Structure formats: structure tokens, C-alpha cells
Amino acid sequence: MAKVTIRDIRVILTAPVGINLVVVKVETSEPGLYGLGCATFTQRFLAVKSAVEDYLKSFLVGKDVDNIEDIWHSCMVNSYWRNGPVLNNAISGVDMALWDIKGKRAGMPVYQLLGGKCREGAAVYRHADGRDVHEVEDNVRKYMEQGYRYIRCQLGGYGGRVQKLSSPENAPPGAYYDPDAYAMSVPKLFDHVRSKIGFEVELLHDVHERLQPIEAVRLAKNLEPYRLFFLEDALPPEQISWFETIRNQCAVPLAMGELFVHPCEWTPLIANRLIDFIRVHISAIGGITPARKLAALCEAFGVRTAWHGPGDVSPVGHAANVHLDVCCPNFGVQEWSGISEPLAEVFPGSPEVRNGYVYPNDKPGLGIDIDEEKAAKYPCENRVIKWTVARTPDGTSVKP
């Protein structure tokens, strides 16, 4: 097979549903052959664009597209400082695109290059929110009727419903919530849902690091009777040593990793069997290359995968998730935010969900493309992110 090199690297920015998405297009010396990768860091999308076009492009043009491993490592160390979300996402965009190219050259889907299928489709979970427990119950039932067997339950979003707050004079603006009211509302929510629906569906909940560590311990213990499939992000990355306390106190399955960007964050949790599911955002750790190694590490310690799959993952990133899902023996469940009509038009070949399972297509590579003319109709907006300015009732800025 003739040597093929990187000819150009471009970043495509688009927001078909109002969420800033970053897609990297790697073009090759072979006419018409290119690959796509997800580099979406929606809150800092312009920084990722600069990292790709102002730094990685000049470093990579002319390199052999087959040498994915060498390219990944050399990109990671070329800046000397490494393992941050901006650079990791930039590298991820290139990495996924190279896997896409390798699959196209081989005439195989990426999952075949990773060892082939363990399952035909990957079970997904959807998000059921509501203003009260009855609305959450109704939304759970709607998803069950559509064939979903894994459903995340939230009451009023992250941190719960905003009750009447008593704040100091001149308190700064922000996304206020009451941690104590939130912590007390969650067991009541699951008590209601389980009493009405029973245990025939798997239920999940996302704390989103909104509690102090000791309160997270107490919440996990209080949720034990409701047999959650997992409790997600009970702690922020800065407090992972508290997972040992939770593990020693109760048997609620724990999922963690959405904000992880460095191997030193996940390695001790996996090696010490302190979590049950790894929840990393694949583009935030650098793409398919590190994710497949992370999955193998998890397999050795009985930890299952549950890759991050919200709306701020592009359909290209969702496709990468699904290719990994179907070939990893220790797959657990896949978060799924849905592919709307505008997204499907901009990204033809997006993965499809049927009766609670998501399926990759059998096209070579990641099996997904981008319509750049349609993508250009949905420009990204550089704005101040408000929901991440989380504050407790006294106005203190806390982790979102």
C-alpha cells in the first residue's frame, strides 16, 4: 500500500442545535481521502481551534497517516506541558480523524480495526428531568414506552430545583442552588419513581459534583435501597480520595470521570476498584487511542465503560463512542442525548438508536461525514457560559 501523508488540517465549527461543536478534518495526499474527528470543548472552542490550526497543523503536515501511535505521543509531548483539556481535545480531533482514515483505507469500520464486535448494538440511557416527581415519572414512562431500559432521573436539573434562597446583600449573579435541599430531594425522587414503576428499569442519577464530600457519602447511603444502576460524579476530581469512604459505607455503583483529563486521575480509582464505571469524555482525554487503552485497563479491574455522551459531543464523537462500545467486552452503558434532525442533516451517517440500542453503520472508518455547506448555516457563538457559574445560597462560587 502506497504511503499516504497529511496534506492539510482544518477545523470546522458548527452549532446546529445551539451547542458549539468542533470537528477536525484531516486531508491527505490521496485525492478525496480525509478523516473527521471530534475536538469539542464547547466552552472554549476557539482555544481548541487555535491549538489545531496554529500549532498541530504545522507539526503534522507531511507525516504518514498510518503512524497513529507515534503521532499521538509526539503531539502530546511536543508542547512540553501536557494533559489539559484544550490540547487533549485538539489531539483527539486529529486522532479520531486518523482512525477514520485508517478504516477507509482498509475498507473496514473502525470497530473491526479494534478487534471486532462483542455486541451488535450498545444499550443507551436517556435523561428524564422534571419540575416535580410526577413529571419525572411521566418522562421515565415515556422513555420506557420507546424501548429504553436505562434512564437517568434528575429533579430540576443539576443541583435540583431552585427554591427560595436567602442570600447576602449585593450577592453576585450566578446559577444559584441549595445543596442541602438538593441532597434531601433526591431520595424522595427515587422513592416515588420506584414505588410507581418498580425495579424493571435501570435508574441512574448525576450529582454533578454539587455536594460536599461528606454529603455525597450520606446521599449514596440514602440511595442504596433504590438499586441505582450507578450514581454519577458524586465527587469532583479534586476530591477523589473520598471514593474510598463511599465504597466502605455502601454498595451503590459509582461512575466517575466526566472531567478527567489526566491518567493520574483515573488510574488509582480503577486499580483500587473504587468505581464501577469510567465516564470520561473521550475527546477530553485525547481520542480513540487513549480510550481503547483505558478500556483495557478497566477490564482488568472489573470496571465497565460508560463514555460521556451529552449534547456537547459532536455526532462524530458519538460515532467514536459507539465504535468503542460495540467492541469492548467490559462495556456498561452509553449516555445518549439524541441526534436531532438538524444534526443528522449536517452529519450524514450519524449513529442511530432503535429500541434502546445505538448502532454504528458498517461504512469504512467511523462511517460519518459532514456537510460543510449546511454546517456553515449554524455558526458558533462566543458567549459567556452562565450555568458554570454555580453558587451556593451565600454567593460562594463552587464547582458546577
Residues annotated as catalytic are 158, 208
Here the cell at position 36 is 473527521
What gap in Å lies between CA 199 and CA 203, rounded to an integer?
A: 9
3-class DSSP assignment, residue 108? coil
Instruction: For the chain, state the CA radius of gyration.
Output: 21
Cα 94 off chain centre by:
18
3-class DSSP assignment, residue 151? strand
Q: What angle do CA 347, 283, 150 make, to 5 degrees?
A: 75
3-class DSSP assignment, residue 353? strand
Please enumerate in sequence order all residues whose Cβ is within 8 A of that of 330, keeping only pairs 6 or more positions apart, or say none: 295, 298, 299, 302, 303, 304, 305
Closest of 244, 185, 252 to residue 213, by C-alpha: 244
Grid coordinates 442519577 are at which residue?
Answer: 205
Judge contact between 172 and 391, C-beta under 8 A. yes
What gap in Å lies between CA 147 and CA 355, rounded to an integer?
A: 4
Grid coordinates 436567602 are at which residue?
Answer: 166
Grid coordinates 454567593 are at which residue?
Answer: 395
First to last CA, the chain: 50
Question: How is residue 173 annotated by DSSP?
Answer: P
- β-pairing, 334-335 vs 122-128, is parallel
What gap in Å lies between CA 220 and CA 148, rounded to an integer?
A: 24
